[in-house]
Amino acid sequence: MPKLVSAWRGLTEQPDVLLTNALLLNIALILLGWNRYKSMNTELGERRRSEEEARRLAQIDPLTDCYNRRSIAPAMAELLAEAESQGRALAVILVDLDNFKQVNDLNGHNTGDAVLTETSERMGDILPADALLARLGGDEFAAAVVYDPVMPGKIEHLASLLIERVAQPIVVKDTVIEITMSVGIASSVNLVEPADAEVSTRLIHKADIAMYQAKKQGKNRLFWFEPAMEQELRFRNELESGIRKGIAKGEFVPFYEQQIDLETGELVGFEMLARWLSPDMGIVGPDIFIPIAEEIGVVAEMSEKLMQQAFEDAKRWNPRLTLSVNISPVQMRDPWFAQKLLKLLLQHNFPPSRLDIEITESALHDNVGLVRSMITSLRNQGVKVSLDDFGTGYASLSQLRSLPFDRIKIDRSFIRELNTGEEGSNLVDAIISMGNGLKMPITAEGIENEVVLEMLRKMGGLKGQGYHYGRPEPADEVLTRLHNSGLLSGSETRTSDRLPRPIVGNRAV
Ligand code: C2E
Ligand code: CA
Ligand code: CA
């Protein structure tokens, strides 16, 4: 280098060309390296920044800026460890908005999002500064709050404040939305495990179970977690999966209850009542499984299968015998219900005039317009429609007058009153006159003894059913009954040797 410099300055002779080139190359390389180093540095910085942003986004719920389901657990573990070190406890307050789906369905998702944001803001305003708030997904939030374990009332008070605040009307683009919430609370008191993310997740799960209890007890309320709730939930989950499997395996079968013309004492038909022949629990009644089937969305499928079996069973009875089936309010919400039913009737070649659909009064509250058009189209096809459990569902008289039912069935709770003497009898009298006023024939359900039967018979013109005539029985026992009274369909009567033999076993339910 010094040689080269003195040569350039003219002090020495011309430098070696090779040496000059090597030097220039070196300088170029250094410049190039420096440039590359600089651009790599900026690139790395950018990458680090975007990674940080991604991590932040992964931890934050983008709609509400709260923690999300994944990030709340480790954050809660930290808070729990800190609380425990100070002899304090952690409460998880789990919130689920009631009927949020309706808000979305009626007002659109943008409004739904606005309600969620507002809810999280209102909760954030009320929660103490060191509390954590997460949106676990959908309309579910969890707050983690440190508190003094000897004062659980403070947490309950806080939860009540949250419920109150969120219940205040929310205005979104001129629409006023009122929403309630169900709340479950779980506490870290009695926890023996060290505070880690898994423990946090388990606390959230317990609060969730308590929240589910709040929903079940009518929503818009709060519950503390109790261990018994966990067992109940496990049982409920087993029931749910048992029902799903049972439908696939054909474990739901129709039983039949006789319906009698009280004046002549003649058998006029049967009401189909579903039974679950559960491999684990034996014969289970519909009061247990129908509400669950409704809730988990399988009642229509179950009912269709039962009806198909019932159509085939009833085809073996004398054709003047009718078949009544109960239809869940959930099925009534399906605008295609009448079409589906008619298709089934056609497939099984079952005459619509022999079918009677029973709808409970509570189904009328959902959407009277839809129910009315459904009743009309069923009746146009020749299917009869009865109002079941009459007197229990608060249907208004004007509603009843506007709905073209073929028959009303007085609920068995009123018939039971007949045992109490005059007062009960007056009530049934009044209901019967109302039916007469509406020009609808009447069936009395729940006739359990001769005394009640006699009283009803005197009232005149009624049909009836009840344990007095026997318990609901399976299809083969019905066939034996009909065989004995000569009421099988024509071909069955001639070939009575084709009758299945009654199965031995406890069938009374
Ligand atoms: P429901 O329609 O009111 O049916 C009559 C219920 O009263 C039946 O109970 C029957 O066993 C019972 N019962 C009949 N006679 C007497 C009596 O003299 N005394 C007393 N105490 N009870 C009597 P079950 O079979 O347990 O059915 C309960 C309810 O489940 C039915 O009430 C009906 O609403 C519903 N259900 C039954 N099968 C189905 C179905 O396939 N689909 C739907 N959606 N609901 C069904
Ligand atoms: Ca019924
Ligand atoms: Ca009934």
Note whether 87 and 146 are same-domain residues: yes
Ligand 1 interacting residues, C-beta cut-off 6 A: 257, 273-274, 285-287, 290, 303, 306, 326-328, 358, 388-389, 412, 445-448, 466-467, 472
Residue with the smallest CA separation from ligand 1 atom 11 is 472
DSSP state string for 405-450? -SEEEE-HHHHHGGGG-HHHHHHHHHHHHHHHHTT--EEE----SH
The tens digit of pLDDT for each residue in 248-274 reads: 999 999 999 999 999 999 999 999 999
Cα(422)–Cα(410) distance, integer angstroms: 17
DSSP 353: G
Residue 485 binned pLDDT confidence (cut-offs 50, 70, 90): very high
Question: 467 Cβ partners below 8 Å, 6+ apart?
Answer: 446, 447, 448
Query: Looking at residue 491, what is its pLDDT?
Result: 57
Q: Quick check: 494 pLDDT over 50?
A: no
Question: Greater confidence, 156 or 422?
Answer: 156
Mean pLDDT of the chain: 91
39 and 185 belong to one structural domain:
no
Determine the average pLDDT of the residues in 141-162: 97
When pLDDT is averaged across residues 113-131 and rounded to a whole number, the result is 97
Q: Which amino acid is at 403?
A: L
In a domain, residue 159? The reply is: yes
Closest Cα to atom 23 of ligand 1: 446
Position 505 pLDDT exceeds 70 = no
- Min mean pLDDT across 4-8, 186-190, 241-245, 363-367 is at 4-8
Domain around 179: 69-225
Q: Provide the pLDDT confidence category of residue 183 given band limits of 50, 70 and 90.
A: very high
Reply yes or no on whether the pLDDT at 507 is more than 50.
no
Task: Kindly tell me if the per-residue pLDDT of 38 is higher than 60.
Answer: yes
pLDDT tens digit sequence for 63-97: 999 999 999 999 999 999 999 999 999 999 999 99
Looking at 178, 204, 225, which one is the last position of a domain? 225
User: Does 118 reside within a domain?
Assistant: yes
Do 109 and 209 lie in one domain? The reply is yes
The residue whose CA has the least distance to atom 22 of ligand 1 is 446
Distances (CA, A) of 206 to 140, 164, 238: 14, 23, 18
| Residue 158 located in a structural domain | yes
Q: Is the pLDDT of residue 496 over 50?
A: no
In total, how many domains does the chain have? 2
Please, which pLDDT band fits residue 195 given cuts at 50, 70 and 90?
confident
Helix (H, G, I), strand (E, B) or coil at 92: strand
d(CA 505, ligand 3 centre) in Å: 27
Residue bearing the CA closest to ligand 1, atom 27: 286
Compute, in angstroms, the gap from residue 65 CA to the centroid of ligand 1: 51
- 74-78, 349-353, 390-394 — which is least confidently predicted? 390-394
Instruction: Render pLDDT for 40-55 as a digit per residue (tens, 0 to 9).
Output: 888 888 888 888 878 7
Residue 166 lies in a domain: yes
Q: Are 81 and 44 found together in one domain?
A: no
Check whether 399 has a pLDDT greater than 90. Answer: no
The Cα–Cα gap between 468 and 466 comes to: 5
Last residue of a domain, one of 34, 58, 82: 58
pLDDT band at 405 (very low <50, low <70, confident <90, very high): very high
Q: Which atom of ligand 1 lies at the shortest distance from residue 302's CA?
A: 41
- Position 492 scores a pLDDT of 56
Does the structure show a pLDDT above 80 at 174?
yes
pLDDT level of residue 142 (50, 70, 90 thresholds): very high
Residue 484 scores a pLDDT above 80: yes
* Ligand 1 centre distance from Cα of residue 273 (Å): 6
Beta carbons within 8 Å of 435's beta carbon, 6+ residues apart: 390, 408, 410, 441, 442
> Do 50 and 97 reside in the same domain of the chain?
no
Q: Whose CA is nearest to atom 17 of ligand 1?
A: 446
**Average pLDDT in the 462-468 region?**
97
Report the sign of the C-alpha dihedral through residues 292, 226, 146, 203, in that order: negative
Q: From ligand 3's centre to the CA of 384, what distance in Å?
A: 16
Predicted confidence at residue 395, as pLDDT, reads: 73
Same domain, 74 and 213: yes
pLDDT of residue 498: 45
Q: How confident is the model at residue 502 (pLDDT cuts 50, 70, 90)?
A: very low
Residue 242 alpha carbon to ligand 2 centre in Å = 24
Does residue 370 sit within a domain?
Answer: no
What is the mean predicted confidence (pLDDT) over 101-123? 95
Q: Which two tokens stand for residue 149?
A: 């374990």
Q: How confident is the model at residue 497 (pLDDT cuts 50, 70, 90)?
A: very low
For residue 358, give the ligand 1 atom closest to its CA.
2
What pLDDT does 194 receive? 80
**Ligand whose nearest atom lies closest to the CA of 410:** 3
The last residue of one of the domains, among 160, 195, 225, is: 225
Q: State residue 365's pLDDT score.
A: 74
Which ligand has its closest atom nearest to the C-alpha of 273?
A: 1
Identify whether residues 134 and 34 lie together within a single domain.
no
Q: Ligand 3 centroid vs 388 CA: distance in angstroms?
A: 5
Dihedral of the alpha carbons of 461, 463, 464, 470, in degrees to the nearest 10? 130
**pLDDT of 47:** 87
How far apart are the CA of 60 and the centre of ligand 2, in A?
52
Same domain, 84 and 220: yes
Which residue among 259, 445, 468, 471 has the greatest number of ligand 1 atoms within 8 angstroms of its CB, and so is best to mutate? Answer: 445
- Which CATH number does the domain housing residue 94 bear? 3.30.70.270
Higher-pLDDT residue of 27 and 115 is: 115
- Of residues 398 and 498, which shows the higher confidence score? 398
Pocket test for ligand 1, best of 259, 326, 386 (most atoms within 8 A of CB): 326
Taking residue 411's Cβ as centre, other Cβ atoms within 10 Å add up to 20
- Residues shown for the chain: 509
Question: Per-residue pLDDT for 501 more than 50?
Answer: no
Residue-wise pLDDT tens digits, 291-316: 999 999 999 999 999 999 999 999 99
- Nearest residue (by CA) to ligand 1, atom 7, is 446
Report which ligand 1 atom has the smallest distance to the Cα of 327.
44
Q: Do 32 and 162 sit in the same domain of this protein?
A: no
Question: What confidence score (pLDDT) does residue 402 get?
Answer: 86
Position 136 in a domain = yes
* Among 53-62, 233-242, 278-287, the least confident range: 53-62
Residues 136 and 177 in one domain: yes
Confidence grade of residue 193 (pLDDT, cut at 50, 70, 90): confident
Judge whether 334 lies within some domain: no
Mean local confidence (pLDDT), 363-377: 86
Of 17-21, 384-388, 463-467, the one with minimum mean pLDDT is 17-21
Report the pLDDT value the prediction gives residue 78, as an integer from 0 to 100: 96
Q: What is the secondary structure of 317-331 as a DSSP string?
A: B-TTSEEEEEE-HHH
Q: How far is the CA of 317 from the centre of ligand 3 (A)?
A: 23
* Mean pLDDT, range 3-23, rounded to an integer: 74
Which helix (H) or strand (E) covers residue 441, if one does?
none
CA distances to 113, 118, 127, 157 from 122, rounded to whole Å, are: 14, 6, 9, 16
98 and 213, same domain (yes or no): yes
**Would strands 175-177 and 170-172 be described as parallel, antiparallel, or unpaired?**
antiparallel
Residue 499 has pLDDT above 50, yes or no: no
**337 belongs to a structural domain:** no
Q: What value does the mean pLDDT take over residues 333-348?
A: 95
**Ligand 3 centre and the CA of 214: distance in Å?**
29
- Residue 135 shares a structural domain with residue 178: yes
Average pLDDT over residues 435-455: 93
pLDDT recorded at residue 460: 86
